[in-house]
Amino acid sequence: MMSLVMPPVREDVIARRLQIAEALRRIVPDGVVCNETELKAYESDGLTAYRQPPLVVVLPQTTEQVSQVMAWCHGEGLNVVPRGAGTSLSGGALPLADGVLLGLSRMNRIVEIDYLDRVAVVQPGVTNLGVTRAVEGEGFYYAPDPSSQIACTIGGNIAENSGGVHCLKYGLTTNNVLGVEMVLADGEIVRLGGRGLDPAGLDLLGVVVGSEGLLGVVTEVTVRILPTPETARAILLGFPETRRAGDCVAAIIAEGIIPAGMEMMDKPATLAAEAFVHAGYPLDVEALLIVEVDGPPIECDILLARIAEIAASHGATTSRISQDEEERLRFWAGRKAAFPAVGRLAPDYYCMDGTIPRKRLSEVLDRMAGLSEHYGLGVANVFHAGDGNLHPLILYDANQPGQLEKAEAFGADILRMCVEVGGVLTGEHGVGVEKRDLMPVMFDEVDLAHQQRIKCAFDPELKLNPGKVFPQLHRCAELGRMHIHHGALPHPDLPRF
Ligand SMILES: Cc1cc2nc3c(=O)[nH]c(=O)nc-3n(C[C@H](O)[C@H](O)[C@H](O)COP(=O)(O)OP(=O)(O)OC[C@H]3O[C@@H](n4cnc5c(N)ncnc54)[C@H](O)[C@@H]3O)c2cc1C
């Protein structure tokens, strides 16, 4: 049952479903789904609490087809929701009952690899890991590594500005994408950015990365590829208090060390992960840190020794440096399996995503324990510690009446707390529908109106992915209106056009 308020559904559009499918089939003859059973496969993304089968699905294979689909939908005044692999955890790819779902998964070709320029040009449906797979034979990789990398697509990564363990050192998607080809809401094909570091003109690429499918449909992507580091080694650190672990993270960064990854798990997450994969984690610690460094072996040795010293001075009770690749992978196995491991603690969990200043971690975790008691729901925490990106996993049972609503309220309280301590509503999962109604906690009306002006510049009819990100979409014409009070023009000295 969907408790979410979405834009009003146009019944006249639903009544035309078959004609719409027929028209789309003329553009993509082998790629239209409109059978009710088959549409169910697309009814949600990774945020399965919300479901809505789309009006019809279209699966183009070329930019030209995407452009024609968009132009036709624009002419008919239809809503369009882009979709990659559907792994979004914020409901960004949630379909609309009267909207066309534009699936990009069949656009999955590697277009070009240029090792000299260190770039790869790929279609948007290539998976994140697919880019690394295509270049690893030559000793290269694609740095941003969301845990979902085996499935999620580069197009989705761009829309969500996705990150992963390696983003502390190598940056998020936005730092690793050089250019895109994009189809606008009316079908026009544009190119933003390029192959180099500093393309001419405004940085519209920076606006598009993280825009959650609201500004255009990405149809080709140029990404930076990096040489695979010579060595990678990890150190496992256990602390008797989360405060000490948090302080240790801050001290490592303050020392000028930027690890390749720095991840933290609280006790419930550590216990669940250990029971699931037997990674050899200590069970008597309140917080577990995994810190990885990479580069030439001598550099790794020096950095690990220094990190161990810093950890000791913060009271670490466990400190183990990986002795070989097998041990390094074992340290990570538990962290990588933490989500499914926590999934064994309760029938359902709700994965939140907020960011806080690192130094407020222990306070935030304490307050979260209080909220957990208040709502009567358990919570386990996995934390991209270096980035301050928190992933509380709220445990609930969807079959128990009222528990989903409680989990949602608990999650909203956590996000409000993130903003209150100086953080932000999302780290890497996006706003989507999940955090849409919390946007006013972070932004006032003026901020939101400015953000919507950007939306209006790209999609003035508001047909691309409506109902996502903005708590309320004003008609673009309304946003341009001036407020004239008692006939007094604001700033009368300014020239008007
Ligand atoms: C188990 C699991 C672990 C995860 N771990 C991480 C993690 O570590 N880090 C992280 O950042 N995220 C993580 N995620 C979230 C998710 O995988 C990412 O947000 C991912 O980038 C979504 O990619 P997708 O192809 O599945 O996109 P979808 O879910 O299909 O779509 C996501 C958004 O992108 C838009 N979109 C998709 N393709 C295009 C396109 N070509 N053009 C324009 N808009 C488009 C959609 O409209 C939607 O708004 C995880 C998800 C799961 C299920």
Res 122: pLDDT: 98
How confident is the model over 378-399, as a mean pLDDT? Answer: 92
Confidence check: pLDDT of 497 > 60:
no
Give the phi and the psi of residue 50 in degrees, each rounded to 5: -115, 130
Q: Is residue 35 part of a domain?
A: yes
pLDDT for position 296: 96
214 C-alpha to ligand 1 centroid (Å) = 14
pLDDT reading at 55 higher than 50:
yes
pLDDT band at 447 (very low <50, low <70, confident <90, very high): very high
User: Are 361 and 325 members of one domain?
Assistant: no
Look at residue 241 and tell me if it is in a domain. yes
Task: Give the pLDDT of residue 466.
Answer: 96
Mean pLDDT of the region 460-468: 96
For residue 152, report the distance from its CA to the centre of ligand 1, in Å: 6
* Co-location of 324 and 261 in the same domain: yes
343 vs 101, more confident: 101
- Given a cut of 70, is residue 339 above it in pLDDT? yes
Residues 340-359 have a mean pLDDT of 90
Helical (H) or strand (E) element with 83:
strand 79-83
**Beta-ladder partners of 292:** 234, 261
pLDDT at residue 490 greater than cutoff 50: yes
Looking at the structure, do residues 129 and 204 belong to the same domain, yes or no? yes
pLDDT band at 480 (very low <50, low <70, confident <90, very high): low
CA distance 109 to 117: 19
Q: Is residue 150 included in any domain, yes or no?
A: yes
Ligand 1 centre distance from Cα of residue 128 (Å) = 10
Helices vs. strands in the chain: H and E counts, helices first: 19, 19
In angstroms, the CA 266 to CA 459 distance is 43
CA distances from 140 to 120, 136, 224, 455 (A): 11, 5, 10, 36
Residues 117 and 223 in one domain: yes
Write down which residue in 208, 227, 246 finishes a domain: 227
In a domain, 497, yes or no: no
For residue 492, what pLDDT is reported?
A: 59
| Mean pLDDT of the region 307-318 | 98
CATH number where 253 lies? 3.30.70.2190
Task: Render pLDDT for 239-290 as a digit per residue (tens, 0 to 9).
Answer: 999 889 988 998 999 999 999 999 999 999 999 999 999 999 999 999 999 9
pTM, entire model: 0.93
Give the CATH number for residue 366: 3.30.70.2740
Does 84 sit in the ligand 1 pocket, CB within 6 Å?
Answer: yes
The pLDDT of residue 1 is 39
CATH of the domain at 213: 3.30.465.10
Query: What pLDDT score was predicted for residue 198?
Result: 77
Q: Classify strands 110-114 and 348-351 as parallel, antiparallel or unpaired.
A: unpaired
Residue finishing a domain among 103, 125, 149? 103
Residue that has been written with the tokens 């324990």 in this structure: 369
Q: Is the CB of 427 under 6 A from ligand 1?
A: no
**Residues 395, 382 within the same domain:** yes
In a domain, 454, yes or no: no
Q: Would you say residue 458 lies in a domain?
A: no
- Of the pLDDT bands very low, low, confident and very high (cuts 50, 70, 90), residue 87 is very high
What pLDDT, on a 0 to 100 scale, did the predictor assign at position 361? 85
The atom of ligand 1 lying closest to the CA of 340 is 1
Task: Say how many domains are in the chain.
Answer: 4
Residues 423 and 356 in one domain: yes
The yes-or-no verdict on residue 78 having pLDDT over 90 is yes
Confidence at residue 496, expressed as pLDDT on a 0 to 100 scale: 45
CATH code of the domain containing 30: 3.30.43.10
280 with 351, same domain: the answer is no
pLDDT band with cut points at 50, 70 and 90 for residue 391: very high
Domain endpoint, select from 227, 260, 281: 227
The finding on whether 160 has its CB within 6 A of some atom of ligand 1 is yes
**Each residue of 392-425: pLDDT tens digit?**
999 999 999 999 999 999 999 999 999 999 999 9
Average pLDDT of span 166-171: 93
Assess whether 37 and 59 both reside in one domain: yes
User: What percent of the chain clears pLDDT 70, i.e. is strictly above it?
Assistant: 96
> Domain residues for 190?
110-227
Q: Are residues 179 and 205 in the same domain?
A: yes
Which atom of ligand 1 approaches the CA of 427 most closely? 11
The answer, yes or no, to whether residue 495 has pLDDT greater than 60, is no
Which atom of ligand 1 has the smallest separation from the CA of 172? 11
Q: Please indicate whether residue 180, judged by its CB atom, sits closer than 6 Å to ligand 1.
A: no
pLDDT at 489 over 60: no
Our answer on whether the CB atom of 156 is closer than 6 Å to any ligand 1 atom is yes
- What would the two tokens of residue 328 be? 């390094």
Average pLDDT of the chain, as a whole number: 93
Q: Are residues 364 and 416 in the same domain?
A: yes
Rounded average pLDDT over 371-389? 93
Residue 385 lies in a domain: yes
For residue 496, tell me if it sits in a domain.
no
- In a shared domain, residues 17 and 117: no
- 223 and 252 share one domain: no
For 363-377, what is the mean pLDDT? 93
- List helix spans (H) across 161-296: 167-170, 173-176, 204-208, 242-254, 267-277
